[in-house]
Amino acid sequence: MHRFTTGLFRTAALATLAIVATGCSYYKITDPTTDKAYYTEKYESKDGITFTDATTEKQVTIQNAEIEDITSSQFKAATQK
C-alpha cells in the first residue's frame, strides 16, 4: 500500500508542477506594421493573434504578429506589474 501512496503523491506533484509552469508564460507581441509592442500572459491564434494587453487591459487582435517568449523580469519591467 505504501508504494501506491508514494506513486499517487508523485503523480499529483507532477501534475501540479505542470499546471504552475503553464501559468507562468509571458509574451511580447509586436505589430510589424507599426512596430508597437504589447505584453501578455496568453494569446489565441484564430483569425490573427488575439490577446489582452497587460498595460491597457484591452483586447487586441493583430494579423501576422511577431511573438517572443520573455522572462518574468522583462514582463514586469515593460508593464510595471
Q: How far is CA 46 from the centre of its chain?
A: 16
DSSP three-state, residue 7: helix
Which cell goes with 25?
508564460
Beta strands, E only, 1-81? 26-31, 36-40, 43-45, 49-52, 59-62, 66-70
pTM here?
0.70
Tell me the pLDDT of the chain (81 aa) as tens digits. Answer: 445 444 444 544 444 444 444 557 999 999 999 999 999 999 999 889 999 999 999 999 999 999 999 999 999 999 987
